[in-house]
Structure 1
Amino acid sequence: MRGGRSLRLRDRSPVHGLARRRLGPLEVVAQSVSGAAPSAAMAATPAIVAASAGGGTVWSFAIATVLALLIAGCISRFTRRMAAPGGLYSLTAKGLAPGAAFACGIALLVGYGLLAAAALAGVGAYLDALLARSGLPGGRVVVTVAVVVVGLLVGALALRGVRLSARVVLLVESVSITVMVVVFALLLLSGPAPGAVAPVPAAGIGGVAAGVLPALAAFIGFEVATALGAEARRPFRSVPRAVGLTAAVSGVLYLFAAQTQVVGFATTPGGLAGQAEPVLTLATARGWSWIPALLDAGLIMSFFACALATATALVRVLFSLSRDGVAPQALGRTHPRFHTPHVALAVALPVVVAMLAVPVVSGVPIGVTLVALLTLATCGFLVAYLLVCLAAPVFLHRIGELTWPAVAATAVIVPILLIVLVVFVAGSRPAVVVLAAVVAVGGVWFGWLRLWRPDRIAAIGVYDETVAEDVLGQAAA
């Protein structure tokens, strides 16, 4: 009793319909690790970083890992206190104005949607390569059909329930990472590729700093677990741990991969920079003909797990936007048996598949499509990370728990993210066009809501709340 009135628990959560409190800690971690897709980044990103950082490639990854951990720390300020299927969108709403939260939601839709499409592109690209190595027919038609089939499989697993999809992701990503670690360990133990000694010159501070940008892009998606807060068993422990652990594990894997490739090309003129397929080049130089096929299989699995994890997060952001009243009401419905946002999935997944299938059918090489999708997805994630990091100390101040480490983390990471975002967008003309289009559409959408639905804008940021059943048990509730 307080003031003569009883404090009554809700009969149901604002995010009712989802399978609340079902996921164990390993399943939550697997979702975030799959969102980051470290196996794919281990194979491709070091050479991209080396183009700027040269001999300082490992240092660029080390700095990027620290930055990712700082972002994870800002996210944990929220996830230790609230669970929200909207992920960073709902978290930002508790610190910044509704307009900033809405912008974060749009950024996440762009990020998750394009990353899911990029993951499907990765499946198609490496499947085509695997078929070619096996002497089987491939090509544009086969790849397009394969991508559509994989998209349908992702949709089926995402529909059947978060526990099933989480377990599939855990199995697939575990196998993929194991394959990659074994391959890179063998390459590292075998030393540099045969050739005349041609030491790679050390990069200056500017080169290392420039290399941080693509290195940080390798971490996008590592926060996927935040969208599963309502469905995790102990969300205030498992979600922040999953996000922080994913950043740390991914960083270690990237450092290992970068060191392996830098050492491998230590005697090659120009070093790692400029190598189109560094891992395959090192394997071929040693006569290991079995590694390329194994590598292709591992990357296919990693991209598949990434597609499933990001599609799961994407539909939960749509679900939250709907429950907030700023998106069509139907998107907030859940399947009566599987307890998943089936309408949001039915709307989002065809769009994700089309974003890949249309350019491929039109003749655009799938590798080019993959790079473009990843570039645009990175822009969305950088905006979302920037906003949630800004929101963290404001949120803590509002609840009277502001500490100097929170302020210091934001003071360090926000200017860096802002610089990275500006440089990243300025360096990609398609990113400028797409970002301008997204801002225009989002601005019109928010303006309409501000004019006709101001009450919904004010209440933005739905999250899971304790209900009577949580405290009293099902029978008592």
Structure 2
Amino acid sequence: MPGNALATHVGHPGAMTAENPPDRLVALGRAIARPPVVAGVERTSPMAGLERRTVGFVDVLAQSIGAVAPAAGTATVPALIAVQTGSGVLIAVALAWLLAICVGATLNQFALRLAAPGSLYTFTTKGLGSGAGFAAGSGLLVGYGFIAMFGVVGAGYFLQSFLGVLTGPWAAAPWVTAALLVGVGAVCFGVLRRGIRLSARVTLVIEFASLLVILTLLAIVLSRLSPAQLAAPLTAAPPAFGGVIAGTAVALTAFVGFESAASLGREAARPFLSVPRTIRWTVLGVGAVYLLSSYTQLAGAGAFGIGFDGGQAVARLASDTDVAAIGTVLDLGLAASFTACAIASLTALSRAVFTLGREGVLPRAVGRVEPLRKTPYRALALVVPVTVAVPLALHLAGWSPWQSLEFLIVVSAAGYLLAYVLATAALPAFLRRIGEASRRTDLVACVAAVGLTAVLVTYLAVSTASEPVAVAVVGGLAVLAALAYVYLRLARSRALARAGMFDHTTSSDLLGGS
């Protein structure tokens, strides 16, 4: 361009200079300085008070792993499955794993779209309405609550076993059991009161350390077996069909809690990435560990003539393979794993209670957050004492720890399975409502819902004979939930109208927002 033309261009009234910026930059500056009000975007989130977008992926992963407690599951669940299906443990675990994968894929469709501390309760409400949502929420409270009690009892049981090796018979005294139950509850409350990042990291370290001890033992056991002994679990006579279904129902209880990462939807740094990824990886990883553990315990039990009674198969394998020291360490590791399970379950339970308090379904006091640590301390103050009181009552009634574990897992599993059934059934309606339905997701959700319903019915039918008290408690809790819903419909209908709250975009998330 000739020099005079360039000069003319630069000097043109419309040319871009520091004193005369283009209109688009002026508009951008005006939008940043005085952002326009966007219709439908609120200044605060219904979940305000909890930390927001601060918890990293590792901590989110720790939540689900801790709730599942794979170390504790590998040591106890194969024994519970074997009672129902005998040599069909591997088949039951494999079928439960496949069903859990379908459930995880279904729940991830919600987790990709909603950041909801109420997790399955909120998901179901958004798909099927407040009635089904309340049923799912009730099941979730029972599931999280009784699995937290399961964790407290298991921690006390294995701690007592560990102390018995170190100190002798006095560790078996009833007062020691009671003191350990209260002590585990106090540890859980102290860790949870300090905040989600501390509780998640404590949970993750404990779980991985415990799992490492168990995997080391399993590797030693496998190395001591002959080829014929290794092949025995794979060549055993097939179990009866009814036994397989019952065993699958029990095996699925080992996976419950894998979705609890969804309860950190508000607190997770990247919830729509980290929560679905956590759910997927937890199901896949835990299923592989359970299959390996079940196979090893079956092979080892056959080789050494060990029974599964009382859940001591892993400890017996340690002593029979001349690594009793690992068995002693294993008691401590399992106690830690059960404690981690209780912490993670109480984390999810407290957030579900917090959500119900914010909506007004429960008293609003439990929807408050401690300003300094941003933890739902009122909800924790409610659920932790109950979590300790029930195991204490069972102990004072003369129940052994193993009896308590069997009772608590039945009640917990019934609550979890009900919540899973309703949440998976809610997905097609939810996706249609937002205009994102697809045949593939509908099919997976249908398979998950039908399979879970069959498992739930079978599980309750089987448990009626083996754990009649637990089934009666489940029935009683269902009646209480129904009465509570009728009361809410009649006296607090506005609370039900607010059901389904989740963390959503606020004005501070927008350009120029405050």
Q: Which residue of 2 aligns with 1:404?
A: 439
Cα displacement string for residues 171-202 of structure 1 (whole angstroms, at most 9, x for unaligned residues): 1112111111111111112216999x988732
Q: 2:273 aligns with which of 216, 221, 237?
A: 237
Q: Counterpart of 2:361 in 1: which secondary structure? A: coil
Is structure 2 residue 496 aligned with structure 1 residue 461? no
* CA separation of 1:257 and 1:84: change in aligned 2, threshold 3 A: same
Provide the rounded CA distance (Å) in 1 between the counterparts of 2:92 and 2:74: 14
- RMSD of equivalent CA atoms: 2.3
Provide the rounded CA distance (Å) in 2 between the counterparts of 1:268 and 1:213: 28
Q: Counterpart of 1:345 in 2: which secondary structure? A: helix
Q: 1:344 aligns with which of 379, 382, 400?
A: 379
Q: Which residue of 1 aligns with 2:110?
A: 78
The residue identity in structure 1 corresponding to 2:322 is G
| Percent identity over paired residues | 37
Is structure 2 residue 484 aligned with structure 1 residue 445? yes
Q: Which residue of 1 aligns with 2:153?
A: 121
Cα displacement string for residues 234-260 of structure 1 (whole angstroms, at most 9, x for unaligned residues): 000111111111111110000110111
Provide the rounded CA distance (Å) in 1 between the counterparts of 2:458 and 2:385: 32
Q: Gaps (5+ residues) in structure 1?
A: none
Is structure 2 residue 290 aligned with structure 1 residue 254? yes
Provide the rounded CA distance (Å) in 2 between the counterparts of 1:276 and 1:418: 28
The residue identity in structure 1 corresponding to 2:269 is R
Provide the rounded CA distance (Å) in 2 between the counterparts of 1:179 and 1:157: 24
For the Cα contact (< 8 Å) 1:265–1:272, is it kept in 2?
A: yes
Q: How does 1:400-439 map to 2 (within 5 A)?
A: 400-426=435-461, 427-428=463-464, 429-439=468-478
Q: Which residue of 2 aligns with 1:18?
A: 50
Provide the rounded CA distance (Å) in 2 between the counterparts of 1:345 and 1:155: 7
Provide the rounded CA distance (Å) in 2 between the counterparts of 1:125 and 1:328: 35
For the Cα contact (< 8 Å) 1:193–1:268, is it kept in 2?
A: no
Is structure 2 residue 245 aligned with structure 1 residue 209? yes
Q: 2:349 aligns with which of 314, 317, 326?
A: 314
Q: Which shows bigger deviation, 50-59 or 445-454?
A: 50-59
Q: How does 1:271-282 map to 2 (within 5 A)?
A: 276-282=311-317
Is structure 2 residue 421 aligned with structure 1 residue 386? yes
The residue identity in structure 2 corresponding to 1:215 is A
The residue identity in structure 2 corresponding to 1:58 is L
* CA separation of 1:193 and 1:51: change in aligned 2, threshold 3 A: farther
Provide the rounded CA distance (Å) in 2 between the counterparts of 1:177 and 1:302: 8
Q: Which residue of 2 aligns with 1:185?
A: 219
Cα displacement string for residues 99-149 of structure 1 (whole angstroms, at most 9, x for unaligned residues): 110011111111111111110000110011111111343122112112212
For the Cα contact (< 8 Å) 1:116–1:311, is it kept in 2?
A: yes
Is structure 2 residue 152 aligned with structure 1 residue 93? no
Cα deviation for residue 204 of structure 1 reads 3.9
Provide the rounded CA distance (Å) in 2 between the counterparts of 1:198 and 1:219: 26
For the Cα contact (< 8 Å) 1:21–1:234, is it kept in 2?
A: yes
Q: Which shows bigger deviation, 205-214 or 370-379?
A: 205-214
Q: Counterpart of 2:265 in 1: which secondary structure? A: helix
Provide the rounded CA distance (Å) in 2 between the counterparts of 1:69 and 1:400: 25
Provide the rounded CA distance (Å) in 2 between the counterparts of 1:204 and 1:142: 41
Q: 1:63 aligns with which of 88, 95, 100?
A: 95
Q: Counterpart of 1:301 in 2: which secondary structure? A: helix
* CA separation of 1:354 and 1:275: change in aligned 2, threshold 3 A: closer
Provide the rounded CA distance (Å) in 2 between the counterparts of 1:347 and 1:275: 32
TM-score by length of 1: 0.94
The residue identity in structure 2 corresponding to 1:130 is F
Larger radius of gyration: 2
Provide the rounded CA distance (Å) in 1 between the counterparts of 2:483 and 2:388: 26
Q: Which residue of 2 aligns with 1:140?
A: 174
For the Cα contact (< 8 Å) 1:54–1:202, is it kept in 2?
A: no
Q: Counterpart of 1:290 in 2: which secondary structure? A: helix
Q: Gaps (5+ residues) in structure 2?
A: 1-30
Is structure 2 residue 415 aligned with structure 1 residue 376? no
Cα deviation for residue 273 of structure 1 reads 6.1
For the Cα contact (< 8 Å) 1:192–1:263, is it kept in 2?
A: no
Number of positions where the alignment pairs a residue of Structure 1 with one of Structure 2: 471
For the Cα contact (< 8 Å) 1:127–1:143, is it kept in 2?
A: no
